Amino acid sequence: MPIIGIDLGTTNSLAAVWKEGRSQLIPNAFGEYLTPSVVSVDADGSILVGKAARERLISHPEQSAASFKRAMGTDQRFVLVDKAFTPEELSALVLRRLKEDAEAFLGQPVTEAVVSVPAYFNDAQRAATKRAGMLAGLTVDRLINEPSAAALACYDPAQGDASFLVYDFGGGTLDVSVVDCFENVVNILAVSGDNALGGNDFDMAIAHMYCQKNQIDFHALNKEKQAILLRQAEQCKRTLSESPVAMMVLELDGLKGSMALTGQQLIEQAQTLFSRMRTPLLRALKDSGISLSELQAVVPVGGSCKMPVVRQYLNHLLGQKLANPGSPDTVVALGAGMYAAMKARENSLREMVLTDICPFTLGVGVHNPADEENLLMSPIIERNSALPTSKIESYYTVSDNQTQLKIQVFQGEALYCKENQKLGELNLPVPPAPAGKEGASVRFTYDINGILEVEATSLSTHQTISTVLVGKGSGLTEAQAKERLQELEKLKIHPREQEENRLLLAKGERLWEEALGEQREQIAQVVQMFAQALASQEQGRIARTRAKVAEMLNRLEEGLSLDELGEEDYEGEEGEME
Ligand code: AMP
């Protein structure tokens, strides 16, 4: 049975599978590779996933959820109508849709997947991702760091040894990794990143620029208006990838106004975002020990690397030409598909080896003589250690006649433990003795699946205690997991075959919201026409009407979008601006 690779993205998700000697992307019900990571509940309580759900983000924001990847591993709940979902349940719905698409593509059941995660995901986030797989009916034994997957997909052993920097800039996360490739071995030397920085932040920056220009108070807008504004801002950002000036014009009450935007203006306004883009890059390079001159290429990955201002900035910083690995959207999924095949021990990939690293520091809290309440972080496994790894350190008592050593385990880069994430603790009994006489050796073993085993052995009695830690947010018992699985299964999910119909209806509703007056009436008529065809349940009539309605809505949408007008307006001014 094939194992599929999945790129579970903040904005879009994709799946790939090894077929005919290469990793191939799996199309969804629309024949597209990108499935928006959006879930929505419609009027009759059924669940929509993907493109149709994304359309409803605008028209029904209270019933739709997006960007839930950012909340993975937290206790956050997303309330859709009257049901609260965890981020992993929402992710499970996306994964389940990808599993169905893969089954339709391959013509056989799919029960196992390798899922990619940002390198900076902590244990809780990784555990939540695995549980999402389980809830979707997929065994997820292996996770792969997104930049590692990108590196796998980019490396061509025939071209000889290479070191490159993978700059993976998506909708919600940035991952930078330095990768060394030689003789079929893909060796991740260092990773760094920011899991709260992405293209969404540029949308927000553009939306704020628009508000400033048109004297609108962003925070006073209701959720729906904010969503419309952000969608227009994203559209403006995308236009800026195609042309030197993008125009943003809104006619809606409360949002009325216009703005012309150039890349240079965006750079000036979004200075903080650019400096945040720089920090992880410098840290990854420094940690890897590779100098700029040794780097062969910089590989842009993720939708946000399509922005010319981002690419210009990278060229400016690194002084080298960006490599072109095909579409920055698909490279992680292709790598995950390749890794899935390696896991399945695909013959043609037998020679390939992927080594990975621990992307964060793991350590224990130790006594701080200057401030007893404020434990200091004592690293045992330093970030960027190659995996699997096992390291040992000794620790001693700090007071006379201490009867136990409290070993508190933390993850993170801060000097003070309270600023790092606590993963768990162990209490090892020690015989009473003067301070510093008794102690323990503490061994940390961290494997490629992100499981940390902690073992503490008394130096005098040799008593050993150990525990396996997967961090906060992972505490589901098997019974609870089963219960959650059953609950998810009870949800009414729209069959993928009807997705196209749902999408058109949702698109019609969204356009109606965005339009005014006469255009609104036209849209309502078109939607009504399609609703009647659906009510007839005659497949032939539905298909014919669908094609007609799709075309009409596209035309109406073009009428609504003022991008073209914007470009024409700016042809004249371009010279002046330069
Ligand atoms: P990802 O998470 O890799 O799917 O990236 C999604 C992000 O890429 C979103 O913020 C999109 O707005 C952004 N994006 C996708 N295509 C483009 C484009 N052509 N120009 C600018 N940004 C884009």
- At 181 the pLDDT is 76
10 lines ligand 1 (CB under 6 A): yes
Secondary structure class of 396 (helix, strand, coil): strand
- At 480 the pLDDT is 67
37 lines ligand 1 (CB under 6 A): no
* Nearest atom, ligand 1, residue 12 CA: 4
Please check the confidence at residue 573 and state whether its pLDDT lies above 60: no
Structure tokens at 96: 């389940």
* Nearest atom, ligand 1, residue 169 CA: 3
302 lines ligand 1 (CB under 6 A): yes
* Nearest atom, ligand 1, residue 10 CA: 2
Give the CA angle between residues 299, 200, 13 to the nearest 5°. Answer: 65
Is 260:242 a contact under the CB 8 Å cutoff?
no
131 lines ligand 1 (CB under 6 A): no
173 lines ligand 1 (CB under 6 A): no
- At 372 the pLDDT is 87
201 lines ligand 1 (CB under 6 A): no
Please check the confidence at residue 448 and state whether its pLDDT lies above 80: no
Nearest protein CA to atom 18 of ligand 1, as residue: 238
Is 375:417 a contact under the CB 8 Å cutoff?
yes
- At 324 the pLDDT is 66
- At 564 the pLDDT is 33
* Nearest atom, ligand 1, residue 301 CA: 3
Mean per-residue pLDDT, 444-455:
81
What are the residue ranges of helices labelled H in 423-538? 478-490, 499-514, 517-536
Distance between CA 248 and CA 95 in Å, rounded? 35
> How far is CA 411 from each of CA 196, 415, 424, 569, rounded to the nearest angstrom?
18, 11, 10, 53
Distance 307 CA to ligand 1 centre (A): 8
467 lines ligand 1 (CB under 6 A): no
Distance 564 CA to ligand 1 centre (A): 21
pLDDT of 535-560, one tens digit each? Answer: 877 777 888 899 999 999 988 887 76
Instruction: Considering only residues 299 and 186, tell me which one the structure prediction assigns the higher pLDDT.
Output: 299
263 lines ligand 1 (CB under 6 A): no
Phi/psi at 99 (nearest 5 deg)?
-60, -45
- At 453 the pLDDT is 87
Nearest protein CA to atom 22 of ligand 1, as residue: 304
pLDDT of 101-146, one tens digit each? Answer: 999 999 999 999 999 998 778 777 888 999 999 999 999 988 888 8
pLDDT of 296-338, one tens digit each? Answer: 888 889 899 999 999 989 888 887 667 765 688 998 999 999 9
Please check the confidence at residue 184 and state whether its pLDDT lies above 70: no
CATH 2.60.34.10 fits 360-486, yes or no: yes
199 lines ligand 1 (CB under 6 A): yes
- At 25 the pLDDT is 97
* Nearest atom, ligand 1, residue 329 CA: 3
Residue 252 has a CB neighbour count (10 Å cut-off) of 16
What are the residue ranges of helices labelled H in 107-222? 123-135, 146-154, 199-213
- At 478 the pLDDT is 60
pLDDT of 502-542, one tens digit each? Answer: 889 889 988 887 777 788 888 888 888 888 888 877 777 88
137-149 burial by CB neighbour count: b if 16+ within 10 A, else e?
bbebebbbbbbbb
Q: Which long-range contacts (CB under 8 A, 24 or more apart) does 421-424 make?
A: 421/122, 421/124, 421/471, 421/472, 422/472, 423/123, 423/362, 423/452, 423/469, 423/471, 423/472, 424/454, 424/467, 424/469, 424/471
For tokens 């990793």, name the residue: 23
Distance between CA 244 and CA 175 in Å, rounded? 27
* Nearest atom, ligand 1, residue 304 CA: 8
Distance 78 CA to ligand 1 centre (A): 24
Distance between CA 270 and CA 217 in Å, rounded? 19
Nearest protein CA to atom 15 of ligand 1, as residue: 303
118 lines ligand 1 (CB under 6 A): no
Band (180; pLDDT cuts 50, 70, 90): confident
Is 234:205 a contact under the CB 8 Å cutoff?
no
For tokens 């025939």, name the residue: 158
Distance 339 CA to ligand 1 centre (A): 24
By most ligand atoms within 8 Å of CB, the mutation choice from 35, 51, 304, 310 for ligand 1 is 304
pLDDT of 250-307, one tens digit each? Answer: 988 899 999 999 999 999 999 999 999 999 999 999 999 888 888 888 888 989 999 9
Please check the confidence at residue 577 and state whether its pLDDT lies above 50: no
303 lines ligand 1 (CB under 6 A): yes
Distance 199 CA to ligand 1 centre (A): 6
Q: Which of 266, 262, 206 is nearest to 576 (CA)?
A: 262
CATH for 3-197+274-357? Answer: 3.30.420.40
Q: At what angle do helices 87-106 and 123-135 cross, to 10 degrees?
A: 50
Q: Which of 452, 395, 394 is nearest to 423 (CA)?
A: 452
3-197+274-357 and 360-486 have identical folds:
no
- At 481 the pLDDT is 63
Distance between CA 537 and CA 540 in Å, rounded? 9
Distance 49 CA to ligand 1 centre (A): 19
Helices (H) and strands (E) in the chain, counts: 15, 27
From the CA atom positions of the chain, what is the Rg in Å?
A: 26
Please check the confidence at residue 73 and state whether its pLDDT lies above 50: yes
Q: Which of 553, 566, 517 is nearest to 55 (CA)?
A: 553
Distance between CA 159 and CA 7 in Å, rounded? 26
Distance between CA 243 and CA 257 in Å, rounded? 21
Please check the confidence at residue 471 and state whether its pLDDT lies above 60: no
Distance 129 CA to ligand 1 centre (A): 22
Is 455:466 a contact under the CB 8 Å cutoff?
yes
Secondary structure class of 25 (helix, strand, coil): strand
pLDDT of 365-420, one tens digit each? Answer: 999 988 988 999 999 999 878 777 889 999 999 999 999 999 999 998 899 999 99
The gap between the terminal CA atoms of the chain, to the nearest Å, is 58
Distance 267 CA to ligand 1 centre (A): 17
* Nearest atom, ligand 1, residue 238 CA: 20
Distance 303 CA to ligand 1 centre (A): 3
Nearest protein CA to atom 1 of ligand 1, as residue: 170
Is 377:45 a contact under the CB 8 Å cutoff?
no
pLDDT of 3-61, one tens digit each? Answer: 999 999 988 999 999 999 899 999 999 999 999 999 999 888 889 999 999 999 878 98
Distance 35 CA to ligand 1 centre (A): 13
Distance 270 CA to ligand 1 centre (A): 16
Nearest protein CA to atom 20 of ligand 1, as residue: 238
200 lines ligand 1 (CB under 6 A): yes
Please check the confidence at residue 443 and state whether its pLDDT lies above 50: yes
| Domains in the chain: boundaries | 3-197+274-357, 360-486, 496-577
241 lines ligand 1 (CB under 6 A): yes
Sorted by sequence, the CB contacts under 8 Å of residue 466 that are 6+ apart come out as 426, 453, 454, 455, 456
- At 36 the pLDDT is 97
> How far is CA 363 from each of CA 68, 418, 547, rounded to the nearest angstrom?
29, 13, 60
Is 34:23 a contact under the CB 8 Å cutoff?
no
Distance 170 CA to ligand 1 centre (A): 6
